Amino acid sequence: MQTNPEPTVPYGQAFALWRDKAIEPWRAYTRHAFIQGLGDGTLPEVAFIHYLKQDYIFLVHFARAWALAVAKADTLDEMKTCAATVNALVNDEMQLHVQTCLAAGISEDQLFGAVEETENIAYTRFVLEAGYSGDFLDLMATLAPCVLGYGEIGRQLATKHSSHTYNDWIACYSGAEYQQTCADVGHLIDCALTSRLGTDYTSGPRWATLSHKFETATRLEIGFWDMGLRGR
Amino acid sequence: MQTNPEPTVPYGQAFALWRDKAIEPWRAYTRHAFIQGLGDGTLPEVAFIHYLKQDYIFLVHFARAWALAVAKADTLDEMKTCAATVNALVNDEMQLHVQTCLAAGISEDQLFGAVEETENIAYTRFVLEAGYSGDFLDLMATLAPCVLGYGEIGRQLATKHSSHTYNDWIACYSGAEYQQTCADVGHLIDCALTSRLGTDYTSGPRWATLSHKFETATRLEIGFWDMGLRGR
Amino acid sequence: MQTNPEPTVPYGQAFALWRDKAIEPWRAYTRHAFIQGLGDGTLPEVAFIHYLKQDYIFLVHFARAWALAVAKADTLDEMKTCAATVNALVNDEMQLHVQTCLAAGISEDQLFGAVEETENIAYTRFVLEAGYSGDFLDLMATLAPCVLGYGEIGRQLATKHSSHTYNDWIACYSGAEYQQTCADVGHLIDCALTSRLGTDYTSGPRWATLSHKFETATRLEIGFWDMGLRGR
Amino acid sequence: MQTNPEPTVPYGQAFALWRDKAIEPWRAYTRHAFIQGLGDGTLPEVAFIHYLKQDYIFLVHFARAWALAVAKADTLDEMKTCAATVNALVNDEMQLHVQTCLAAGISEDQLFGAVEETENIAYTRFVLEAGYSGDFLDLMATLAPCVLGYGEIGRQLATKHSSHTYNDWIACYSGAEYQQTCADVGHLIDCALTSRLGTDYTSGPRWATLSHKFETATRLEIGFWDMGLRGR
């Protein structure tokens, strides 16, 4: 019996397929206690702040991974989409993050001085290494759980949150701008798969490898929330 | 006897030192017959068009190399400068290039269909591979001759060209915007050297390796002009 | 009061300095409960087997990192030492590992089918990514805690173990062959630092960055033992 | 009318297909004047020596590319084959090269001091960069023309050379050991394609990209012979 079917999210075909193949860890990630706590306001502030500090470090490596995608792209269109993402991350999103942290009482110095947690290292280096050792598709498969998972979580919280404590966070990831990024990234992934592996991209052995990387990245996202809850 | 001393260019300290250590190839690069032809209008149009087509392919790889620099950067400031360069290249400069080519009678299809010349492959892959196998500094040392050499060539042609045939090209590289990019890149390089190797960055063995890479890239730039002159 | 001074290990100068700068995590790594359990035989077999399975996956990535070092080397001598290490790992050590696991009741299929733990991903990908994004020295600084730490642990257990249960493991890492590898790697690191940064390689800013990477890798080794103890 | 059909070479299926798709440059490469000169002894010694010096530098980068293939491999078997190739290159082949050069009057110092020619840079960096930016298959497609082309040239010269001047060179590449390496590499490539893209690996879009890389590498091999003939 499945009382909460997965929401339909408009982030393209490959994402929907990857998500279905990794449905157990995907649920553990997108319905994590950390997220419940964001929605009903029960997440302790200390956990949220711990998460924010680690997420700042995460975003640095995330931007580096998208930059690597520019270097690994096959077409000018792929380069443009990835370059725009890098630019948005380093010039807008990270600046916003610094402000959110300041509002939460964390100075920029504290942000920079935070020691990177193992779960953070695991996820970010897994993505970057998959990209360096593999190709553009490996990078997309490992980046997808973060970009698109946050989009799905944002949409889910926007419709059912019962507290206003973490409104800003929810507004950011459910907002039109972030949702458009998700749609663009989903489209980028579908096109990249088709142009490299053909329209029946799920029929060859590469699909299993990519799906496995998507699933591992999803498991590492669960670890990231767990780490957030450990915040002291 | 040296009748034409090198112009003083405000692109930072490391560039001035690298240029002096590679002064013979540097002169062969920045005073090449191709450039004389741009200045006095004697460059055959067919050579210019051949160059433009190859330069378009060059810019794709050049943007990829700057994106790799984002992935290899140590600080957020380095990331921002390099990301801005990528963005300018893929969203502005390459678009401008397409238009210049259209004006010169080369369709976008012809641009995309051009076969990459050996000299083009040699330079672009040398830069990218130096970056992948080495670190951020190796990337800077191999990117510098192109970015800053074009700045120097632009300034030189702006003051002494005797023909208006290639005015647009000269205006582009002598213009305030491109010159500012050169100043920024020169500053980025000086800071990157200091923050990694200390203020006396020329005293260790790394300096010789980086200077050698700068010189090799300069030699490859000469080859690029030679290739342009072969245009048919 | 320090009752157990660090043993003097003949693995070169840089290693001794890195170890001293990271002495707290280094002790937590080299005197971990897992190692005490190897020495006095109290380590549960299930924990040892869990460790062995993860270590097999670790060795695959470890060999890949040493191969990356060949690609990133500056001299033929560096290439030869690193290539010999890769060869020893993929042709000898991993085969030995398969046999040890078979003796412990783990089939080769089970070895290949093991799900990689987060701590394993964190350490291996941290090393590989440091290598890809940085240069040869970054790779050496992150590989050192594993290679040389196991050498130190082996020597320490060889002189004071009170049980024969884990004799084979202890004999492997305290043996002449492995100790020679450690001496060779220590020498490789000292030479690589000197040839790139000069004889006073600790005086520039690069030294702090490399030391920090050594320390992070050491912390990730602690996590690896913790993960071993979780074995079920 | 085709009087000289391509010889059938037992280096696997993918190689045969790639070669057929790039048949014009392939012939220009494998029937180059340099090779005719090796066969009939008319190749000037100065050209041969120039080639040998450049080929030494080439082999360094070639070994680095095979090491990168170890880092980018998917399976232990792939890793073993590539690691064995690296080992053979840095411990045997390059040593043999040093001796051949010594016999030809080139000291080891001269070998190390040779300035890398543009054609050499173009080919080696093209291979390495294709590997870094792409995946294992991109590396194989760009390495294949060199490994397998030399095998084909060796076989061809062994059956029809009319002079003994360059016997050693011909014996090396037509010999059982080198021919076995070619068979192994051909098999490695077929397996790598099948395990990643399926048994009908020519049906998807990736095949065209890989074939194009094989062809570009073949063109760069022609440039390498041209460069050899320029020897002074």
ipTM of this complex: 0.93
Three-state DSSP state, B2:
coil
| Tens-digit pLDDT profile for residues A87-116 | 989 888 888 788 888 888 888 888 878 899
Please report where in the chains the tokens 């990218």 appear, as a residue: B128
CATH homologous superfamily for the domain C20-229:
Heme oxygenase-like (1.20.910.10)
Spatial neighbors of D33 by CB under 8 A, at least 6 apart, are: D225, D229
Is residue D138 less than 8 Å (CB to CB) from chain B? no
Smallest CA–CA distance from C77 into chain D, residue:
D90
Q: How many CB pairs under 8 A join A and D?
A: 40
Cα–Cα dist C209/B82, whole Å: 21
Q: Which residue do the tokens 């390796």 mark?
A: B209
**A175 three-state secondary structure:** coil
Chains that touch D (3 or more CB pairs under 8 A): A, B, C
Architecture of domain B13-160+168-227: Up-down Bundle (1.20)
Q: Is-contact A41 B55, C-beta < 8 A?
A: no
Q: What is the pLDDT of residue D121?
A: 97
B66 to chain A: closest CA residue: A71
Look up residue A204 and give its two tokens.
Answer: 């060859």
Cβ–Cβ < 8 Å for A131, A68:
yes
* pLDDT over 70 percentage in chain B: 97
Residue in chain C lying closest to D60 (CA) = C76
Q: Are D188 and D15 in contact (CB under 8 A)?
A: no
Interface B:D, Cβ pairs < 8 A: 49
Q: Which residue has the higher pLDDT, C181 or D111?
A: C181
Taking the Cβ of residue C121 and every Cβ of chain A, the question of whether any pair is shorter than 8 Å is answered with yes
Which residue has better confidence, D98 or B148? B148
* One-character DSSP codes across C24-67: HHHHHHHT-HHHHHHHHS-S-HHHHHHHHHHHHHHHHHHHHHHH
In whole angstroms, how large is the CA radius of gyration of chain D? 17
What is the reported pLDDT for D5?
A: 55
Quick one: CATH architecture of D23-227?
Up-down Bundle (1.20)
B22 in Cβ contact with B212 (< 8 Å)? no
Distance CA D87, CA A131 (A): 26
Distance (Å) from the C-alpha of residue A82 to the closest C-alpha of chain B? 10
Q: Which two tokens stand for residue C158?
A: 């060889």
Chain B residues touching C138 at Cβ < 8 A: 135
Q: How far apart are CA B175 and CA B155, in angstroms?
A: 8
Question: Which chain D residues touch B119 with a CB distance below 8 Å?
Answer: 118, 122
The proportion of chain C whose per-residue pLDDT surpasses 90, expressed as a percent, equals 81
Sign of the C-alpha dihedral, residues C33, C35, C36, C38?
Answer: positive
Domain boundaries, chain C: 20-229
**Short-list C64, C52, C61, CA closest to C97:** C52
**Which among D64, D127, D129, D221 is the top mutation candidate for probing chain B, defined by the most B β-carbons within 10 Å of its own β-carbon?**
D129
B137 touches chain A (CB under 8 A): no
> Token pair 């100065």 is at which residue?
D46
Summarised one tens digit per residue, pLDDT across range B55-65 is 999 999 999 99
At A223, is the pLDDT very low, low, confident or very high (cuts 50, 70, 90)? very high
pLDDT at position A232 is 66
Q: What is the mean pLDDT of residues D177-188?
A: 95
Report the amino acid identity of residue B138: D
| A18 touches A208 (CB < 8 A) | no
Q: Put residue C114 in one of left, alpha, beta given phi > 0 → left and psi -120 to 50 → alpha.
A: beta
Residue for token digits 């059912």?
A: A160
- Beta carbons within 10 angstroms of residue C48's beta carbon: 20
For A79, the closest chain B residue by CA position comes to B90
Query: The tokens of A25 are what?
Result: 């860890």
A90/B79 Cβ within 8 A: yes
Judged by CB atoms closer than 8 Å, whether chains meet at A86 and B70 is answered as yes
Contacts of C206 in chain B (CB under 8 A): 196-197
> pLDDT category, D1, cuts 50, 70, 90?
very low
D90: DSSP letter? I
Residue owning tokens 């000291």: D107
How many residue contacts between C and D have a Cβ separation below 8 Å? 72
Q: How far apart are CA D48 and CA C43, in angstroms?
A: 64
A10-52 tens-digit pLDDT: 899 999 999 999 999 999 999 999 999 999 999 999 999 999 9
Q: Is residue C116 within 8 angstroms of chain A, CB to CB? A: yes
| D116 lies within 8 A of chain B by CB | yes
CB C26 within 8 A of CB C19: yes
Give the closest of C119, C121, C132 to A126, CB-based. C121
pLDDT in tens, A143-173: 999 999 999 999 999 998 899 999 999 999 9
Q: Which of residues 94-113 of B touch A (CB under 8 A)?
A: 94
- Please measure the distance between the N-terminal and C-terminal CA atoms of chain D and give it in whole angstroms: 38
Torsion of CA C172, C175, C181, C187, to 10 degrees: 140
Nearest-CA distance C129 → chain A (Å): 5
**Would the CB atoms of A90 and B83 count as touching at under 8 Å?**
yes
Segment D101-116 mean pLDDT: 86
Distances (CA, A) of D74 to A42, A87, C95, C146, C149: 44, 33, 18, 23, 28
Residue of C nearest to A224 (CA): C118
| Chain A (63-82) residues lying within 8 Å, Cβ to Cβ, of chain B | 63-65, 67-68, 70-71, 73, 76, 79-80, 82
Mean pLDDT lowest for which of A74-78, A222-226, B103-107, D189-193? B103-107
pLDDT level of residue D6 (50, 70, 90 thresholds): low
Q: Are residues B129 and D133, on separate chains, in Cβ contact within 8 Å?
A: no
Chains sharing 3 or more CB pairs under 8 A with chain C: A, B, D
- C-alpha to C-alpha distance for D188 and D169, rounded to whole angstroms: 25
User: How many Å apart are CA B73 and CA C118, to the nearest integer?
Assistant: 26
* CATH of region A13-229: 1.20.910.10
Task: Locate D83 and state its tokens.
Answer: 């690691």
What confidence tier does B232 reach under pLDDT thresholds 50, 70, 90?
low
**Rounded CA gap, B16 and B14, in Å?**
5
Q: Is residue A184 within 8 Å of residue A81, measured between CB atoms?
A: yes
Q: Which residues of D touch A205 (CB under 8 A)?
A: 195-198
Token code pair at residue D150:
């030399």
Contacts of C204 in chain B (CB under 8 A): 196-198, 204
C83/D87 touch (CB, cutoff 8 Å), yes or no: yes
Q: Of the candidates C88, C69, C217, C187, which has an alpha carbon nearest to the alpha carbon of residue C132?
A: C69
Q: How far is A162 from chain C (nearest CA, A)?
A: 33
pLDDT at D8 over 50: yes
Q: Any CB–CB contact under 8 A between A212 and chain C?
A: no
B118 shares contact with chain D (CB less than 8 Å)? yes
Q: Which residues of D touch A204 (CB under 8 A)?
A: 196-198, 204
Q: Give the C-alpha separation, A34 to A9, whole Å.
A: 21
C189 at interface of A, judged by CB pairs closer than 8 A: no
Whether B138 and chain C come into contact, CB under 8 Å, resolves to yes
Q: At what angle do helices D136-160 and D118-133 cross, to 10 degrees?
A: 140
- CB-CB under 8 Å, A196 with D204: yes
Using CA atoms, how far apart are residues D181 and D89, in angstroms rounded to an integer? 11
Confidence band, pLDDT 50/70/90 cuts, at residue A80 = very high
C220 chain-A contacts, CB cut-off 8 A: 118, 121
Q: CB-based contact (8 Å) between B119 and chain D? A: yes
